[in-house]
């Protein structure tokens, strides 16, 4: 079978491809996920956004809790941003939560609370790209539209022996041409839903990055990677870049019953979440101590300062080295002086919209009785 090399080369259609995927999905695919068995575009959209860069097992409990608080798009659109972030806290990639909230508002403003069926219109909404728009439209409305998420890219790269990194624009364009060409000719709702879900299921359960189960795959007879013994090699991985490293000092400032938090900007890491105040502690220990004292003086009179164990948190593009300091105040100023800062009751840490590593640190200190 011809390999996909150029974005402008014609992509061959093959009705037997979609038939193999649909037949396999109906018999062996996933059918019991919480967001399956519904045509509710809101629930389908929510699941698709949560599943971006996140495994199904991690999404399921968040999905259930989110729907309890925000059962429909109108409720989500009307909710305070901090409430949305709190229910997303721990799921990561927080831009998704901000876009989710913004998208709900746009659907209410533009479409009266009804998600459009046209993938082109869906793709114009915040946080919904071409592939996600196609998946929502296919599952909710049976639209004949091609998806191309990370799992599907891997399936196509192996089956068609695609050379190059799938995230490269030239290769991705070629994969999109192939994805469109392979759509089932039968545009019946059930056919499109089964085909779309089947591609997702194949990538998630059989054609995995490591230890793929080729013997169970319905596409194995036509798979170039299998025939040429290149399953472990394809798709080519993204060229590695050296991760940048950053350092910061976080202040755990407590008055015995509350902990001081600050609102992070909407953009950047942990955007829109509450977190611990940060300061730069460069230079000699004496200078660092002076900087620490000066920073905490804005919030009260420190009774004790303790350096906690440092930790490192890895992001996609860099590593953040954190040096936390616990400061217990003898007397707290009534006003923190800045709108971005709030005092949170330590008993509410678990429900607060905090970054996962910050929440983990605070919960550990609270459990050990070290915030008083």
Q: Is 116 helix (H, G, I), strand (E, B) or coil?
A: coil
116 contacts 122 by C-beta, under 8 angstroms: yes
159 contacts 222 by C-beta, under 8 angstroms: yes
- The token pair that represents 158 in the structure block: 């192996």
CA distance 288 to 98: 35
* CB atoms near residue 7 (< 10 Å): 16
Catalytically annotated residue among 6, 48, 82, 245: 48
CA distance 243 to 314: 9
The four Cα atoms 281, 284, 289, 294 give a dihedral, to 10 degrees, of -60
Task: Please report which helix (H) or strand (E) contains residue 95, including its range.
Answer: helix 95-111
Q: For residue 12, give the nearest of 162, 171, 181 by alpha carbon.
A: 181
Cα separation values, 67 from 47, 80, 103, Å: 10, 15, 16
79-116 burial string, b = 16+ CB within 10 Å, else e?
Answer: beeeebbbbbbebeebebbbbbbbbbebbbeeeeeebb
* CB atoms near residue 342 (< 10 Å): 16
Q: Is 219 helix (H, G, I), strand (E, B) or coil?
A: coil
275 contacts 295 by C-beta, under 8 angstroms: no
Q: For residue 276, give the nearest of 302, 250, 315 by alpha carbon.
A: 250
Which parts of 317-363 are beta strand (E)? Answer: 318-332, 341-345
Cis peptide leading into residue 235 (ω within 30°): yes
Give CA 121 to chain center in angstroms. Answer: 22
Catalytic residue check, 124: no
Q: Which positions are catalytic?
A: 48
């Amino acid at each position: 079978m011809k390999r996909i090399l150029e974005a402008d080369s014609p992509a061959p259609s093959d009705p037997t491809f979609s038939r193999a995927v649909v037949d396999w999905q109906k018999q062996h695919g996933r059918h019991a996920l919480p967001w399956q068995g519904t045509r509710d575009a809101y629930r389908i959209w929510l699941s698709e956004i949560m599943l971006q860069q996140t495994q199904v097992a991690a999404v399921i409990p968040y999905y259930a809790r989110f729907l309890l608080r925000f059962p429909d798009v109108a409720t989500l659109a009307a909710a305070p941003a901090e409430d949305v972030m709190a229910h997303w806290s721990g799921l990561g990639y927080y831009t998704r939560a901000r876009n989710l909230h913004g998208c709900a508002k746009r659907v209410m403003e533009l479409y009266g609370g009804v998600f459009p069926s046209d993938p082109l219109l869906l793709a114009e909404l915040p946080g919904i790209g071409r592939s996600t728009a196609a998946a929502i439209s296919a599952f909710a409305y049976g639209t004949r539209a091609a998806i191309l998420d990370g799992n599907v890219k891997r399936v196509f790269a192996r089956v068609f022996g695609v050379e190059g990194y799938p995230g490269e624009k030239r290769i991705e364009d070629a994969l999109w041409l192939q994805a469109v060409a392979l759509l089932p000719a039968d545009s019946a709702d059930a056919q499109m839903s089964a085909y779309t879900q089947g591609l997702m299921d194949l990538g998630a359960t059989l054609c995995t990055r490591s230890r793929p189960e080729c013997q169970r795959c319905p596409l194995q007879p036509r798979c170039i990677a299998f025939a040429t013994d290149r399953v472990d090699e394809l798709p080519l991985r993204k060229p590695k870049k050296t991760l940048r490293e950053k350092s910061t000092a976080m202040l755990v400032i407590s008055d015995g019953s509350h902990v001081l938090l600050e609102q992070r900007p909407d953009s950047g890491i942990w955007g829109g979440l509450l977190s611990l105040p940060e300061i730069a502690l460069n230079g000699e220990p004496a200078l660092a101590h002076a900087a620490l004292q000066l920073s905490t003086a804005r919030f009260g009179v420190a009774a004790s300062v303790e350096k906690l164990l440092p930790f490192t948190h890895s992001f996609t593009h860099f590593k953040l080295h954190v040096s936390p300091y616990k400061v217990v105040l003898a007397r707290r100023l009534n006003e923190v002086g800045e709108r971005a800062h709030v005092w949170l009751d330590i008993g509410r840490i678990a429900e607060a919209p905090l970054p996962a590593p910050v929440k983990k640190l605070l919960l550990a200190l609270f459990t050990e009785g070290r915030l008083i």
